Amino acid sequence: MQAERDAFAQTLPWSVELLSGWTADKKLHSDHVPETPDSPGCTPVQAGRLAAYRARILELTTQVLTHPYWAPLPGPDRVEARTALKHAHDTPVGPDA
């Protein structure tokens, strides 16, 4: 869900609201002058979709954190188990693992 939200957010302007861009001072030891273009802002549909992603991620996070599975684990073990769950996708699975 977060990856979906992140991919969608990458398609949006840098600001949800209509804002002017700016040019920053030239960086030391570089000819690069940082610039940010004007932001046209998000449409109400885009802002609503982003809010829906945030609400769903919050709902899913709450379900995981308050699930009865965690209740019998003491504090440090609970943290360790949640961390392992968070990185479960990092572990290769299958005969080639």
Q: Where are the domains of the chain?
A: 2-15+38-88
On the question of pLDDT at 8 being above 90, the answer is: yes
Residue 29 pLDDT: 85
Of residues 11 and 88, more confidence is placed in 11
Gap between the Cα atoms of 7 and 46, Å rounded: 13
On the question of pLDDT at 94 being above 80, the answer is: no
H or E stretch including 19? none
State mean pLDDT over 80-84: 88
H or E stretch including 25? none
What tokens appear for 23 in the block?
A: 């040019």
- For 34-66, the pLDDT digits (tens) are 898 999 999 999 999 999 999 999 999 999 889
